[in-house]
Amino acid sequence: MALVVRNSRARNQGGTVDESDIHHPLLELRLTPDRGLGLFAKKIIKRGVRLLSETPLLVVVSKKGPVSYLDLRQELVKLSPAQLETLYDLQHNPKLLRPKLEAQIRDYAEFARKFVKDDAGMDHFVDCQIKVKAIFDTNATALRNKPGTAIFPLYSRANHSCTPNVYANYNPQLGSHTVHTIRDIHAGEEILTAYIDIAQASDEREENLAKRGVTCQCPACLPGDAFVTSERRRQRIFDFKRCSYAYEGDQVRASDVPAYIIPRNPIEALDRAHEIIKLLLQEGLLGMELAQAYRWASKYSLQSGMLEKAKAFAQKEAEVELYCLGKETGYMSEPSNAAGWTKQLEDMADKDKVKFKMCEKRMMKEAKRLDKKAEKKAKKR
Ligand SMILES: [Zn+2]
């Protein structure tokens, strides 16, 4: 897919859009009413379509904490004039032009003062550097599967939503950053990605987005009925996910989970996974967090002796993985990819299958008994 981004500085300043700027069969750049430029679908796009496969313009690996101006500068000097121009053409959020940053850059530039004859030249240099840092902070993407934060010529144009319609991922096998549609998209619809972990409550999302100068205006963030429903669901997803991590022994991601809600056995863990899947689907969160939930459900079904159910969930996981990441998932070690997990289930020895079948019958009986008990209890109330 040949992608060309031409100079758009005049467009950004003038507020009009020349749609011939990007040469892409499915996407175009348009001005949004409140978020500057965005990527839009030119036609109907089905789920699972690879919209972008880009190599980064630059990748910055911070030695400690967030990317500093000095981290960025080390990479900037490696860029060609054309690459610098592409970078400079990206938009920046004026909220990120912080006085502290200006002081830091001015301090750094002082050493160069002896090489610059006039103060006006120095001021221009400092202004450019401040803007470039703001451009970086506005557009940079933390890479999945690779250390570093990167800028992409086109993906960096995509705006944020807490209910995105694409999934972005760095694919080491391809050596590029891919973006796939995770549901069908209408002609004229904006391509929206997630800048942060979206399966968390609104105050956490707000805090994380503020670091990029973003105030989200999506239905899950704006006050109203949709917000209340969404908030309740996402809080439950967040809590149930932490329960699953706690059950898996991942203490870091399970921080502060009250012991009494941690699943005590595979049946309870499966129950949580079911709930996560239901809530994610209701919320329209269809990215790899859904694949993770299907994996949990598959794993706990297996541990509960329900092999066929485990296979059915594995198939669901594979579907999600395919539309989010594409076919090239060889870089994911087995069984961390869905194909590896499915194969593991398929390859189970016959004696294991018999064992699981027997266990499955026993578990079904137990589940029926518990259902009846719950029914009786409900009637008494
Ligand atoms: Zn939002």
CA of 217 to the centre of ligand 1 (A): 6
| pLDDT tens digits, one per residue of 33-43 | 888 889 999 99
The Cα 44–Cα 187 span in angstroms is 5
Taking only the tens place, the pLDDT of each residue in 247-265 is 888 877 777 777 777 888 8
Please report, for the chain, the start and end positions of each structural domain, with discontinuous segments joined by +. 49-183, 202-380
Distance CA 25, CA 76 (A): 31
Question: 122, 113 in Cβ contact below 8 A?
Answer: yes
Q: 373: phi > 0 → left, psi -120 to 50 → alpha, else beta; which?
A: alpha
Is the bond into 335 cis (omega within 30 degrees of 0)?
yes
Q: How far is residue 329's CA from residue 321's CA, in Å, rounded to a whole number?
A: 9
Q: Please state, in angstroms and rounded to a whole number, the distance separating the CA atoms of residues 268 and 254.
A: 17
CB 229 within 8 A of CB 207: no
Q: How far is the CA of 238 from the centre of ligand 1 (A)?
A: 16
Residue 363: predicted pLDDT: 66
Distances (CA, A) of 108 to 89, 129, 204: 24, 11, 34
pLDDT < 50: residue spans in the chain: 1-17, 19-20
Distance, CA of 241 to CA of 235 (rounded, Å):
10
Evaluated on CA atoms 94, 143, 253, 341, the torsion sign reads: positive
| CA of residue 322 to ligand 1 center, whole Å | 26
- Structure tokens of 339? 């194909």
Backbone angles phi, psi at 165, to 5 degrees: -110, 5
CA of 219 to the centre of ligand 1 (A): 7
**Interval between CA 163 and ligand 1 midpoint (Å):** 7
What's the pLDDT score for residue 337?
A: 87
Task: Say if residues 29 and 159 touch (Cβ distance below 8 Å).
Answer: no
Q: Say how far apart CA 106 and CA 199 lie, in whole Å.
A: 39
Q: Return the closest-CA partner of residue 219 out of 239, 208, 233, 207.
A: 233
Q: How far is the CA of 215 from the centre of ligand 1 (A)?
A: 8
pLDDT of residue 361: 65
SS (H, E, C) 131-151: HHHHHHHHHCEECCCCCCEEE
Q: What is the pLDDT of residue 124?
A: 78
pLDDT attached to residue 16: 39
Tell me the CATH class for 202-380: mainly alpha
Given a contact cutoff of 8 angstroms between Cβ atoms, the answer to whether 49 and 181 are in contact is yes
